[in-house]
Amino acid sequence: MRQHDLVVIGAGSGNAVIDDSFAGLDVAVVEERWFGGTCLNAGCIPSKMFAHTAHVARTVDGAGTYDVDAELLAVRWRDLRDRVFGRLDADREEGRRARRESHFVTVYEGSAHFTGPRELRIQLADGSVDVSARQIVIAVGGRPAVPPAVAESGLPYETSDTVMRIEAPPRRLAVLGGGYIAAELAEVFAAAGSSVAIVEKEERLLGTLDETVSERFTELARSRYDLRLGREVTAVGGRPGALLLTLDDASKVEADMLLVATGRVSNSDRLNLAAAGIDTRDDGRIVVDAHQRTTVEGVFALGDVCAPVPLKHVANREARVVAHNLRHPENLLATDHDLVPAAVFTRPQIASVGMTRQDCRDRGLDPLVGVARYADIAYGWAMEDTTGFCKVLAERGTGRLLGAHLMGPEAATLIQPLVLAMTLGIDATTLARSPYWIHPALTELVEKALLDLDLDFGP
C-alpha cells in the first residue's frame, strides 16, 4: 500500500488546498473527470460567459428603446461554444499538467473509494492502487439530480454538465426545474433563438429567494416562456429530437430537447464512506464541524459534498480554512456560513444576502423594509429600467441590516456594499449617511433603499 502524508480527492476547489507550503510533504491528488471541477468546466464560469453573450444579444435586440437602430442577426452558437470551451479546456489542461509536473504531488487520474479509515482504493484506467494517508481531504463535489421519470424513460436529456457543449440550440427546449440553473440557462437559450417551456413543481420560479423577487421574476418570465408551474413530469415519451412530456395534470409539452435542472446531489455516495466510518446527513452531504473536519480524525471535507450552501465562493472559503487547519491543528479556523451572498445571472440579474421576508416571519421578526426602484434614480432613467428594485430588511430600533435583495442590472455588483455592511456590523443609518454615494451612479439605488427605511436619519 502506497503511503502519503496528504491525499486530496477532487481537483476542483480541492486543488486550491495545496500550495507551496505543502512542499515538504508527500501529497496526492485524485481526480476522475475534470481538473478545475464543475465551476471551470460546466458551471459558474462557462454559464456566465454564455449569459453575458445572451445579455449582449438582448441589448442589440432592444436597442430601439434607446433610439438606436440595430438588428440582431444571430447568436453564432458554435462560435460561442468554441470560444468559451476553447479557453476553459485549455485552462483545465494547464492546471492538470502543472499538478502532474509538481515535484511533491502525485496525480492519480481515476475514482477513489474508502476501504478503511484513511485508506483508499483508486481505480485507474489500467488497474487499481491502494493508498493510505495521514490526512485526507474530500472535495468530490456534486452532480445534477435527475427525476426517475426522466432517467427511466430511456430517452436523451441534457443537464448543466452537458447542455452548453451541444452543437446547436434546439428549436423547442423544455426545462425541468425553476431554480437558478434553470433560470440562467433558459435565458441563454431563449436569447439564442429557442422557444422555452419551463416545468416547475412550485408555484413560483426561484422560490427560495425573497418573495418579492420570486413573484416579480415569475411575472416577467411568464411573458417570455411557456410556464407550467405547480406541475411535475410523470412520463417522457416520443423519440430523440421529438420528445413528449406528460405532466401530472395530463397536459403535454412538446420539445426537441430536454434540459434537467431540478437541483444537485452530493457525490458522497460514490466513496463508500461507511468503510471509513464517515457520517452523512439525510440528503447525502458529509457531516463536518465548523473546522471542516468529518467524523473521522484526519479526514476533512469541503465544497458541495458537504456545504450547506453549494456555491463556488463557499467552496473556495472552505478550501482556505482546510488548508490552514491541515498545517495548524493547534490553531484551527472556522467557516462561517451565516452571510453568504448569491447571484442569479439571468434577465434581469438577481442578488441576495441574509434573511428573506419569509425568513423573518418564520422567526417571528417584524423588520423594517426599505425599497427603491431603478426607475427612482437618475441612472435607472438612463437605462429605461421599469422593473428592477432593491429591497433591504433592518431590525427595528437598531437599524441592524438583516437582509438585502436586488433584481435588475448589475445586481451582483450593487449588493456588495450591503454584504460588507452586514459582515462588518455597519447599521443602515451609518451606511446611508457616512459615505458619499456617487450621483448619478447605480449605487444610488442602494442608498435610496436604505433611506426608505423608517429610521431617524437626521438632516
Active-site residue numbers? Answer: 439
CA angle 47/48/53 to nearest 5° reads 100
Cis omega before residue 440 (within 30°)? yes
Contact 140, 10 (CB under 8 A): yes
Please report which helix (H) or strand (E) contains residue 216, including its range. helix 211-222
d(CA 246, CA 240): 16
Contact 144, 31 (CB under 8 A): no
The residues near 102 (Cβ < 8 Å, ≥ 6 apart) are: none
φ and ψ at 53, to 5 degrees? -60, -40
d(CA 187, CA 182): 9
Grid cell for residue 153: 424513460
The residues near 108 (Cβ < 8 Å, ≥ 6 apart) are: 28, 29, 30, 31, 122, 124, 129, 131
